[in-house]
Chains A and B, each alone.
Chain A
């Protein structure tokens, strides 16, 4: 830089500096993905001890596999319901936390507790609370003997409840950050113009909050789509696979059955779903950024 450094040289230097990071990323992120794609083109079941290239056979079976479609349906339902509820709860929570009141710092910190507890631990706690015979939830609902984790209609909703409990604070935090970016002057001006609180919320808060909300939706839906730990602890995918998500199906096929070929195909399918989901959100976000 000091004296006579050409632009060309600086560029080369820049490449050299990022090269290690690129190599590391390629090693830890790209290689496993490519390896999974390659494996998914084989019939490779550990106990058979053979590894045969079968092209797209695994994907052909996947398209006709009722269990795959059921798992995809469960995953989509889980993501849609959980994320919607989380955002609907997080916005009022963030509005509350954004107000000045004594003890706000303490409340902000304590709201984050569910999010800070490792999912496996909290899911175990919830599993005991959901226990239909001696769990606290049925005792709190007088006269109820709901079979939370054992009945097909309930188990997935119980899992959604656990996810909502755990991640609403995280969404609220993202929304809170968005709220704090809105200039106070706008509200003052609105008050001068005689706008009601509701009107101010609709015309100022909501539009300016949109980027933060979209970001929260992006993070949460990608995360929810890959859900594994909470459901694995609560039900292991049961009863009758009604809580089985794509990640659980892929895990069972890979690690329990030792069917690496088909398990990889399931993982790749999950990966593609997440990529598509991410692309859609990124487009929406990009449009939002552009509009500003």
Chain B
């Protein structure tokens, strides 16, 4: 009897011990067949037929004999992917080599020492020569390259060609055109955008901030909130709702809610990303052929700056130097002009290189993407600071309070600045 209970105890302990240790990933050596290197690429699924992308990856394997590429998909939502990398890289995970990073992550990951310095392979000067300025600004931290732009996204203005004379250039024009069209076409709303408390709202606010002549960062890289243009920007967005140019319901809208209203033909203007275009042009779309696309308006009338979105490729700093070299080669392959073209033609992802927009193959196949060039050129990143993810949540809640009319822009910005300064440790 005693022996049996001792056995039970040992068994129980064994379960505990193996339960805790059993989740460890096999080491690099164990998972690698002799003479071959497995390179693991963590990315988000690209919607569309898988073949062109698979062929792009297969070409790398053909050009690098002995290398086996393994792709591992991530959740599509950016914040979930961020959470994955946060926990994996903080824990020193070395079971993936190349990773995709959202534009606002690169400074954070670089500062935390999670992604490798790639300046040797991709000198900042060369990036500046080959890529649009916005994405370069997002991946070069303190003069060093930490990632390479893969594809871009930019905030643009959609307008109904049949309801307004032309695209508005100023905020004043936007309001006037919207009101005139609403008077002519009852049941149609003026301007829909993303006012829900989430990252999309911050993108809308930053666009308004730039349109009022503001900057995202002040001296010494401090995130600038309690300043004139920020107050004007929030005042403008709140004003749209208060005056009825935008429906009150925009305070609950993310991309899809606004797109559906616009797509049903019930709005004159919409701020959204380029993806909404292909939906609007589908055969059964009520607004097919009636939609124009333009840079966002500004206070002064010069073309506006859309928020830069999109993904970059970086190298896990926890992997060995030899693997890093190989990883950099994969990044060079996946961000080449040819690869940019594959992504643009098959997945409607905007190339980060200006030269690709002039490619006759792109012009012939998809004029819409080619026409986005002037807007992509002016795309701007949100504050490029390691602290962006630390403070994003504070920005979202205070921006939301101002847009929903719960606080004045002055109050909201003061509160936000106070919390941001507390978090980042800057004293007034």
Contacts and interface: CB of A to CB of B under 8 A. Distances in A.
Given A27-B20, A46-B112, A47-B112, A131 B257 contact: yes
A229 interface: no
A238 B257 CA distance: 16
Interface in A1-47: 1, 5, 9, 13, 16-17, 19-21, 23-24, 27, 45-47
A237 B397 contact: yes
Main secondary structure of the interface of B (DSSP, over half): helix
B252 interface: yes
A23 B16 contact: yes
Interface in A29-74: 45-47, 49, 61, 67
Contacts of B19: 24, 27
Contact of A20 (B13, B260, B266): B13
**Chain B interface category by residue count:** 35 or more
A149 B113 contact: no
Given A147-B252, A238-B197, A253 B393 contact: yes
A20 B9 contact: yes
B211 interface: no
Interface stretch (B44-52, B78-86, B144-152, B365-373): B78-86
A114 interface: no
Interface in B7-47: 8-9, 11-13, 15-16, 19-20
A211 interface: no
A24 B19 CA distance: 9
Nearest to A49: B112
A133 B407 contact: no
Interface stretch (B171-179, B218-226, B384-392): B384-392
A192 to B, nearest CB: 57
Nearest to A138: B249
Given A23-B12, A150-B250, A238-B196, A256 B82 contact: yes
B387 to A, nearest CB: 6
B5 A13 contact: yes
B111 A49 contact: yes
A221 B419 CA distance: 32
B6 A133 contact: no
Interface string A148-174: 111110010000000000000000000
B6 A16 contact: yes
Nearest to B109: A47
Nearest to A14: B5
Nearest to A9: B2
Contacts of B236: none
A133 B12 contact: no
A257 interface: yes
A47 B406 contact: no
A233 B172 CA distance: 36
9 contacts: A133-B249, A147-B252, A150-B195, A150-B196, A240-B397, A241-B197, A241-B400, A244-B397, A257-B391
Closest 8 interchain pairs by CB?
A: A20-B12, A238-B197, A150-B252, A240-B401, A150-B251, A132-B249, A149-B252, A16-B5
Given A13-B2, A61-B422, 6 more contacts: A23-B16, A27-B20, A133-B260, A150-B251, A257-B389, A258-B86
Interface of B: 1-2, 5-6, 8-9, 11-13, 15-16, 19-20, 79, 82-83, 86, 90, 108, 111-113, 195-198, 247-253, 257, 260-261, 264, 266, 386-387, 389-393, 396-398, 400-401, 403-404, 406-407, 419, 422-423
Interface of A: 1, 5, 9, 13, 16-17, 19-21, 23-24, 27, 45-47, 49, 61, 67, 131-134, 145, 147-152, 155, 235-242, 244, 252-253, 255-259
